[in-house]
Amino acid sequence: MVGGLLLQALRNDPQVREIHLVGRRVPERLGKDARLRLHPVDFSRLPQDPPWARVDRGYCCLGTTRRAAGSREAFRAVDHDAVLAFARTLRHGGTPELRTVSSVGADPAARSFYLQVKGETERDLAALCFPRLACFRPGLLRGPRAEFRLGERIALATAPLWQLFLQGKARCYRPTRATDLAAALHTLPPANGLRIWHDHLTV
């Protein structure tokens, strides 16, 4: 969902000269765009020094759920291993900046396995020493998903009530519109070092 919205934002930007779309499968109905390059890959066996690793900025919107993946191991293979493999390839290719989608509450010491993996991924990305790294930590994403997630539907339907209690530092746990996240991924001004983005602030 976020990756599709980000792609749309990039294609609408006349300053973007070239777009390399790297994924497990090629999306349908992309339309014609002379700037677009498609790269279907297996993230467990990425090529050596691919052309998409030599770009001005990389984005990573990879992510799944434990239920969709089928097991803890399969979830970790996507949300940690595939993300790190993609990032390492970019780093080795000389890409100076990476922006990646994580989750609010990401912490290697979290009790939640989901948030623990997200935190470990952020930690290991930072160890790659990109000159510029931005980790985006949205709350529950609000937008048109292709897959049905009952828990998310219930949480989003009741959000107008429970999010009123999320004030101050807890405000970052409010739902995040996928369109806002995609826009932030695209337009956040570059800055050296590691930055953490929440729905209402960047630190």
Q: Report the pLDDT value the prediction gives residue 134, as an integer from 0 to 100.
A: 97
Residue 82 burial (CB count, 10 A): 22
Give the chain's end-to-end CA distance (angstroms, integer): 25
How far is the CA of 144 from the CAs of 8, 82, 100, in angstroms? 14, 24, 20
Q: Report the pLDDT value the prediction gives residue 162, as an integer from 0 to 100.
A: 45
Q: Report the pLDDT value the prediction gives residue 173, as an integer from 0 to 100.
A: 61
Give the Cα-Cα-Cα angle 45, 48, 53 (nearest 5 degrees): 105
Low-confidence ranges of the chain (pLDDT < 70): 143-174, 200-203
Q: What is the pTM of this model?
A: 0.84
Q: Report the pLDDT value the prediction gives residue 89, as an integer from 0 to 100.
A: 98
Structural element, H or E, at residue 101: strand 97-101
Q: What is the pLDDT of residues 110-138, one digit of tens each?
A: 999 999 999 999 999 999 999 999 999 99
Q: Report the pLDDT value the prediction gives residue 174, as an integer from 0 to 100.
A: 66
Residues 24-58, buried b or exposed e (16+ Cβ, 10 A)? Answer: eeeeeeeeeeeeeeeeebebeebeeeeebbebebb
Three-state SS at 9: helix
Q: Report the pLDDT value the prediction gives residue 38, as an integer from 0 to 100.
A: 93
* Residue carrying the six token digits 């949480």: 155
Residue 142 burial (CB count, 10 A): 20
Q: Report the pLDDT value the prediction gives residue 28, as an integer from 0 to 100.
A: 74
Residue 111 burial (CB count, 10 A): 7
